[in-house]
């Protein structure tokens, strides 16, 4: 069943192409020098050859064969691989032969989304570079971290190939790595001790719908390649066309073996939070199906604060964060918060190191079963206590803290559904919230603004997730 699924996936991702007689079989885009292959799973290797040509793939003592179909497509599947930090050759032979060199075996993570994920470690194009960028780049000597930057490619139909190459982490190369992906990989490398491959597949400003496959969007009427969120008449190279980035940048990667996905996107969907609440879980479920590996880990970054001057009451970003959180109902998911590291005047937080670290905590705990604290306080329930409300949390076992200041960004409302600023005090593993303007509170909210002053943390130093007890 697994092999048949992989064959179907590869057939969908590699279109028929002319293959010169006697030429060596061609490998799919991700199979290049310095690649990292996933350990502990069957590893599909695929490409094109002359129709009917027998192809053999040799790697790490294994030799597996395949026969190219009438359209020239072929796929071979290596049995589960042990981790290997010493570069080896992967050879493909048919009527001709070819090989890629310095191939490692370890953990492979697909990093996708918008500007938050695409931002480079030494980002000189944006308003702000990543914090301590120069020092970080100079120290980036980690030959076991490899990075593949998927070239931008929007397409109205499933693409065959995509541009990009694997680069070994060094001061000369790391500046162009995804900053979040790099810090995640560096942190993870220290604990798992095997090579880490990062596939950076992101496009700044892209909406969720562009990353959804046609199959995933089929359940949402009104979407199709004739519609664009950016303009009335989309081009075939428009990254705002639904499915255009899945077709152009994800499809050519299928069915490469990966450990899981890191996702950082949502800004382009602010204002469409109800749709995001349904579509984001659909994207997660569909990607898992397209890769054919079951419920692999899928972790994301909740949106940081942005564009809310002091006193402003904008809450569009709060509703989008809530929509992101609802996907936690899916198995093997996790959410890294950025509510405390955002910059109201900048779309992309400069502290990408902390965001990468928090994603790595999720991976350590959920993907690798390591004993680490990975979540800040999460709202469990709220109870009225006279003129106050007591809020209880999950992940507060080590206690709660307000970083040495009074708690900020709590609000209460009564039956009139009008929220007022409130004072809040930590009592053990709960918070008691009061407002002189709300004598009989029925609902409480925390950090429910575009860019709140969010200073509730647990003893592990991780921030509390924004929440509301109401559904108004």
Q: pLDDT tens, 17-27?
A: 435 556 889 99
Query: Strand, coil or helix: what is 379?
Result: strand
Residue segments in the chain with a per-residue pLDDT below the cut of 70: 1-22, 124-131, 223-235, 308-313, 345-348
pLDDT score, position 403: 85
Most distant CA pair in the chain: distance in Å? 84
| Dihedral sign computed on CA atoms, order 343, 402, 359, 184 | positive
How far CA 100 is from CA of 11, 63, 69, 166, 428, in Å, comes to 22, 15, 23, 11, 58
**Is the CB of residue 465 less than 8 Å from the CB of residue 325?**
yes
Report pLDDT digits (tens) over 96-128. Answer: 999 999 999 999 999 999 999 999 999 765 544
pLDDT score, position 343: 73
Of 361, 355, 152, the closest CA to residue 244 belongs to 152
Query: Strand, coil or helix: what is 236?
Result: coil
Query: Strand, coil or helix: what is 421?
Result: strand
Q: How many CA atoms lie within 13 A of 265 on its CB side?
A: 27
| Dihedral sign computed on CA atoms, order 285, 291, 295, 299 | negative
Of 16, 3, 17, the closest CA to residue 45 belongs to 3
pLDDT score, position 91: 98
User: 461 is written with which tokens?
Assistant: 């130093």
Alpha helices in 144-247 (DSSP H): 179-192, 208-211, 214-217, 244-245
- Tell me the domains of the chain and their CATH numbers: 2-103 (2.60.40.10), 106-367 (3.40.50.1110), 378-468 (no CATH)
pLDDT score, position 127: 46
Residues 340 and 325: their CA atoms lie apart, in Å, by 16
Report pLDDT digits (tens) over 409-437. Answer: 999 999 999 999 999 999 999 999 999 99
pLDDT score, position 105: 98
Residues 135 and 118: their CA atoms lie apart, in Å, by 20
Single pTM value for the model: 0.93
User: 278 is written with which tokens?
Assistant: 């349904």
Q: What is the DSSP string of 459-470?
A: TTSPBPPPEES-
pLDDT score, position 229: 63
CA angle 114, 342, 179 (to 5 degrees): 50
What's the chain's length in residues? 472
Please state the φ and ψ torsions of residue 372, each to the nearest 5 degrees.
-140, 155
Of 151, 176, 251, 253, the closest CA to residue 210 belongs to 251
Residues 252 and 168: their CA atoms lie apart, in Å, by 22
pLDDT score, position 18: 39
């Amino acid at each position: 069943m697994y092999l048949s699924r992989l064959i179907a996936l590869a057939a969908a991702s590699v279109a028929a192409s002319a293959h010169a007689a006697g030429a060596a079989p061609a490998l799919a885009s991700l199979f290049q020098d310095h690649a990292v292959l996933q350990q502990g799973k069957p590893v599909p290797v695929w490409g094109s050859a002359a129709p009917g040509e027998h192809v053999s793939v040799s790697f790490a003592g294994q030799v597996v064969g395949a026969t190219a179909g009438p359209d020239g497509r072929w796929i071979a599947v290596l049995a589960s691989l042990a981790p290997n930090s010493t570069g080896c050759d992967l050879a493909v032979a048919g009527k001709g032969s070819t090989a890629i060199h310095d191939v490692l075996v370890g953990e492979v993570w697909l990093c996708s989304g918008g500007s938050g994920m695409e931002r480079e470690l030494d980002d000189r194009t944006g308003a702000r570079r990543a914090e301590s960028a120069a020092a970080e780049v100079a120290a980036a000597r980690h030959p076991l971290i490899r990075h593949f930057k998927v070239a931008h490619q929007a397409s109205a139909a499933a693409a065959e190939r995509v541009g990009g190459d694997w680069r070994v982490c060094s001061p000369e190369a790391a500046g162009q790595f995804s900053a979040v992906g790099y810090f995640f990989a560096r942190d993870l490398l220290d604990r798992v001790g095997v090579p880490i491959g990062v596939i950076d597949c992101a496009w700044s400003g892209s909406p969720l719908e562009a990353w959804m496959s046609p199959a995933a969007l089929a359940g949402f009427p009104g979407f199709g390649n004739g519609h664009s969120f950016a303009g009335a008449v989309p081009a075939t190279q428009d990254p705002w066309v639904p499915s255009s980035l899945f077709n152009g940048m994800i499809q050519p990667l299928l069915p490469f073996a990966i450990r899981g996905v890191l996702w950082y996107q949502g800004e382009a969907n602010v204002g469409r939070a109800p749709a995001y609440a349904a579509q984001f879980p659909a994207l997660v479920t569909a990607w898992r199906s397209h890769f054919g590996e079951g419920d692999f880990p899928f972790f994301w970054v909740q949106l940081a604060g942005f564009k809310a001057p002091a006193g402003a009451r904008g809450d569009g970003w709060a509703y989008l964060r809530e929509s992101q959180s609802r996907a936690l109902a899916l198995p093997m998911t996790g959410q890294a918060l950025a509510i405390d590291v955002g910059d109201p005047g900048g779309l992309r937080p400069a502290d990408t190191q902390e965001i990468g670290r928090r994603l790595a905590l999720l991976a350590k705990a959920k993907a690798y079963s390591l004993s680490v604290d990975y979540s800040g306080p999460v709202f469990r329930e709220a109870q009225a206590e006279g003129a106050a409300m007591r809020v209880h949390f999950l992940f507060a076992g080590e206690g709660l803290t307000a970083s040495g200041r009074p708690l900020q960004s709590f609000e209460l409302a009564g039956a009139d559904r009008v929220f007022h600023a409130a004072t809040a005090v930590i009592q053990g593993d709960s918070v008691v919230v009061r407002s002189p303007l709300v004598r009989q509170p029925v609902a409480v909210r925390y950090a429910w603004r575009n860019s709140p002053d969010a200073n509730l943390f647990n003893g592990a130093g991780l921030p509390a997730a924004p929440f509301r007890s109401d559904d108004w």
